[in-house]
Amino acid sequence: MKEISCKLLVIGAGPGGYVCAIRAGQLGVDTVIVEAGKPGGTCLNVGCIPSKALIHAAEEFEKVSHMEGGNSPLGISLTAPTLDLARTVAWKDGIVSRLNSGVAGLLKKAGVKTVHGWAMFRDGKTVAVETETGVQVIRAETVVIATGSAPVELPFLPFGGPVISSTDALALGAVPEKLAVVGGGYIGLELGMAFAKMGAKVTVVEALPRVLAQYDAELTRPVVKRLAALGVELMLGAKAKGLSSQGQAGKGDALLVETSDGKSAKVAAEKILVTVGRKPVTEGWGLEQIDLDRTGKFIRIDDQCRTSMRGIFAIGDVTGEPMLAHRAMTQGEMVAEIIAGHKRSWDKRSIPAVCFTDPELVTAGLSPDEAKALGGEIKIGMFPFAANGRAMTKLGEDGFVRVVARADNHLVLGIQAVGQGVSELAAAFGLALEMGARLEDIAGTIHAHPTQGEGFQEAALKALGHALHI
């Protein structure tokens, strides 16, 4: 095959990689992108997008299930609904396919050449790609590593058979009768709650004293309450130990667990979903051929996403936390502009994070504890959705918006919310922090009525000492 030369080579077409390539192409940079799978990476194919499709289907099914027999407070009555998970998965796959085509089209429109295959470094400027038609050698002036992350596999619970990853969970043909979830973080609870709504008996095994430990307890309390309402059993302070086969494969398997008091227990499960985190994909593409500094398992970068080797950048999950698609996208756009000669740096004052549990969680900026740790006094304003008209009309009164600000100048340091549909408030929260808003700015902004966004304004008013509706 004829050797390809380019100014920019992007390895990985996930959110970070494809955005980097598109922006570089828009700026006239001769760009090649290499991807072994489908464009869109984990997020589009087996992560963010398909999981939200499954979560939405579960929510809709649970809604109509509560309407059976005329029990809905809305006055709606219907006969027993059923769920065909295979059709749900097919619908989800259709969405993913359309978005795959969209990304491929955007790359082509930007003039980016796509090479399908697995890239292996030969040196810091050269990779060899195993394609269907042979080895393609690509030489580039600059390389961007955007190889992403993969689910962590437990040595005593390897993926296969009844033990599944989040990827496998999104492709099941039927709802398991009993599902054990190992790991009570956001991935485990998002999927665990979805399957509980679809009719599975779900048990969550979490080694820490509480679920969603990355969030403060006040914020997660409504989620824990909802887990109980869904019949999800929480085994906290418990450690998964392995698999015990008790008969017919799949139907009779049990998860061995060491409980918080040191005793042994067995959790019957048709499927065991392991969600104990994600690891950077740093193996299999010749990293040993180049010399890059690491921070633990991750590639170390500076505030411009430069690695320790000249001409090589790294973006997204492979560079560490927070492993969020929008972080990778922002980094990718910035790196493309730097390569094109623009002056850019990485400012992460606010990277909103959303947990799509029921209710949803949104955080942006600092939590109350993180703000207190900076020293100096802070003000906290909280407004409950129980006092919000729009939330009440959606049967979504459980939750709140919380604003954290400095006491001296009222500069907003962090914003959090828990409630039905609050993921859509993430943009407003991020914008307020990015623009350096003070409590008076938020309080003085006219918010449309009736919306849940009014809770944001009311939380700021509360911090100022004069909330209007509580």
Residues across the chain: 470
Shortest CA distance to 425 belongs to which of 391, 392, 393, 395? Answer: 391
The four Cα atoms 165, 167, 173, 175 give a dihedral, to 10 degrees, of 50
Q: What are phi and psi of 146, to 5 degrees?
A: -135, 55
Indicate if 449 belongs to the active site: yes
d(CA 275, CA 55): 16
Q: Contact at 8 Å (CB) between 182 and 151?
A: no
Q: How far apart are CA 18 and CA 109, in angstroms?
A: 12
Peptide bond just before 280 cis, omega within 30 deg: no
Tokens of 22: 């598109």
Q: Token match 């004052």: residue?
A: 349
Q: Which residues does 124 contact at the CB level (< 8 Å), separation at least 6? A: 143, 290, 309, 310, 311, 312
Among candidate residues 231, 227, 235, 232, the one with its CA nearest the CA of residue 257: 235
CB 184 within 8 A of CB 206: yes
Cis peptide before 359 (omega within 30 of 0): yes
CA distance linking residue 276 with residue 30, whole number of Å: 40
In DSSP notation, 179-237 reads EEEE--SHHHHHHHHHHHHTT-EEEEEESSSSSSTTS-HHHHHHHHHHHHHTT-EEEET
Residue closest to 400 by CA, chosen among 419, 424, 423, 380: 419
Q: Return the DSSP state at 3.
A: P
Residue 99: strand, helix, or coil: helix
As a whole number of angstroms, the distance between CA 57 and CA 337 comes to 39
Our separate counts of H helices and E strands in the chain read 13, 24
CB neighbourhood size of 386 (10 A): 13
Q: What is the DSSP letter of 157?
A: B
What is the residue whose two structure tokens read 């990689």?
17
Q: Which of 116, 326, 410, 449 is catalytic?
A: 449
Indicate which residues carry an active-site annotation: 449
